[in-house]
Amino acid sequence: MVSDQGSFGGVRTGELALERTEVGPVVLTISGEHDLSTAPKLRRQLDALLDEGKVTIVDLSPATFIDSSILGVILDGRRRASDVGTGFEVVQSGGAEAVDRVLEVTGLRGELPVHESREDAFTAASENLEAPTS
Amino acid sequence: MVVRQAVAGLGEALGLAASRIADLKTVVTEACNNVVLHAYEDEAGPLIVTAEPHDEQLEIQIADEGQGFRPRAGEGDASLGLGLPLIAALSDSFEITGGARRGSRTTIRFSYSPQEFKNNGSRAEVPAEFAMAITPGVMVKPVIARVMGALAARAEFSVDRLADTVLLGDAVSASGEGDFAEGRFGISIRDSEGRLGVRVGPLVEGAGERLISEMDVPGAGSLRSLASTMEVTSGETPDGKPAEFLEFEVSG
């Protein structure tokens, strides 16, 4: 696993970790607090994965705070994945209340959608690749 | 980030439930994002955060001296448009005033059931130098501890030095209302190349030396030794009256 700690995050909790799974997709785990200061790093990381055409799972479970700039990067990631024809799924399992609230209030939990387990996300990624909806 | 930690500390001091502190962090972050993204073109400028608890309602103002909020040409960020709905959904009410080249002010009202309600007021300027004035009382210690901890972490202090910095923050938080020339706890923290420069004041004459002497721990030396330098300096209040400041520097 490759871990990258945010340097401007204030409290040292804004981290990204990359995990290449045996079943194929790459999991990008977002932990700690993320906002405008860490959004560019997340964007670069997602861009690099999608440029390679990797099926990407974004795992928000260990995130304790995300703001609209992070949601924007995730939405852009989903759009880019669709453009390049690869899979892109989001998962959050037992996450922080601040992240829950942001996903609910913006309607993105259903819109993205946000899966409740990595297994669900892997399944959705492979199903969507077999039968793309757009 | 620093403002978010300060507001979270304020929320804790006011006894807000964890879910409301989460909402508070989100609305304040989104309002600050608007300033960071839209208020200033290329130059830096102040971001002023004021929080005042009223009866079961916290009023937060986020103000700037910039050009007013407007979409930037060519801005393709998908997050554009999510920030204000988040503020609207998670606060009781909010309004934005100001206009082109007049600065903007976002006022957010946020209800809560106070379990502990004592005091009011925090004011902050970011980013290179963080300055705030707080009415002395119950919220000083948690707010100062969080802000100093966040700035030390941002300056990539080691865990030990971060703990030392928070200890020094606690030590200066012990000052009383009578120590400050304007009746408000004033502190500015400058972050430069792995060192934090802290300036407490304006203080009344003699308060600086007294604060230093109170850092003595019987049998264990003085907390003063945690700082690389510490001195009392002469200066002025904003309206030109002579005052003194306690200044110290902590390195990571």
Inter-residue contact B148 to B71 (CB < 8 Å): no
Torsion of CA B179, B185, B186, B187, to 10 degrees: 100
Portion 29-68 of A in contact with B at CB < 8 A: 33, 35-37, 65, 67-68
Q: Which amino acid is at B66?
A: G
A109 or B95: which leads in pLDDT: A109
Lowest-pLDDT choice from A16-25, A88-97, B60-69, B139-148: B139-148
CA nearest B164: which of B216, B227, B207? B227
What does the pLDDT look like over B33-71, one tens digit per residue? 888 887 777 777 788 888 888 877 888 998 888 876 655
What interhelical angle do B140-154 and B2-13 show, nearest 10? 160
The CATH label, of 3.30.565.10, 3.40.1260.10, 3.40.1180.10, 3.90.110.10, for the domain at B2-111 is: 3.30.565.10
DSSP letters for B47-79 = EEEEEEEETTEEEEEEEE-SS---PPTT---TT
Fold category of B128-251 in CATH: Heat Shock Protein 90 (3.30.565)
B124 or B148: which leads in pLDDT: B148
Length of chain A: 134
Eight-state DSSP code of residue B248: E
DSSP letters for A28-55 = EEEEEEESTTTHHHHHHHHHHHHHTT--
Give the integer Cα–Cα distance in Å for A19 and B246. Answer: 49
Do B2-111 and B128-251 come out as alike in CATH topology? yes
Q: Is the pLDDT of residue B76 over 60?
A: no
Query: Which residue among B23, B30, B89 sits closest to A67, beta carbon to beta carbon?
Result: B30
Please name the helix (run of DSSP H) or strand (run of DSSP E) that holds residue B213, with its range, or none: helix B207-213
Q: In chain B, pLDDT over 70 holds for what percent of residues?
A: 84
We find that the CATH architecture of domain A1-29+39-94 is 2-Layer Sandwich (3.30)
Give the integer Cα–Cα distance in Å for A3 and A22. Answer: 18
Domain ranges of chain B: 2-111, 128-251
Q: Which amino acid is at A82?
A: S
DSSP reduced 3-state for B242 = strand
Q: How far is B208 from chain A (nearest CA, A)?
A: 29
A79 or B115: which leads in pLDDT: A79
Q: How far is B103 from chain A (nearest CA, A)?
A: 21
What local confidence, expressed as pLDDT, does residue A75 receive? 93
Query: Could you tell me if the ipTM is greater than 0.85?
Result: no
Q: Which amino acid is at B51?
A: A
Inter-residue contact A92 to A30 (CB < 8 Å): no
How crowded is residue A117: how many other Cβ atoms within 10 Å of its Cβ? 13
Alpha helix stretches (DSSP H) within chain A: 39-51, 68-84, 97-105, 108-111, 118-130
Question: Do B79 and A106 count as a contact with CB atoms less than 8 A apart?
Answer: no
Q: Is the pLDDT of residue B124 over 50?
A: no
Question: Do B19 and A8 count as a contact with CB atoms less than 8 A apart?
Answer: no
Cβ-proximal residues to A86 (8 Å cutoff; 6+ apart), any chain:
A50, A53, A54, A55, A56, A129
Question: Do A10 and B22 count as a contact with CB atoms less than 8 A apart?
Answer: no
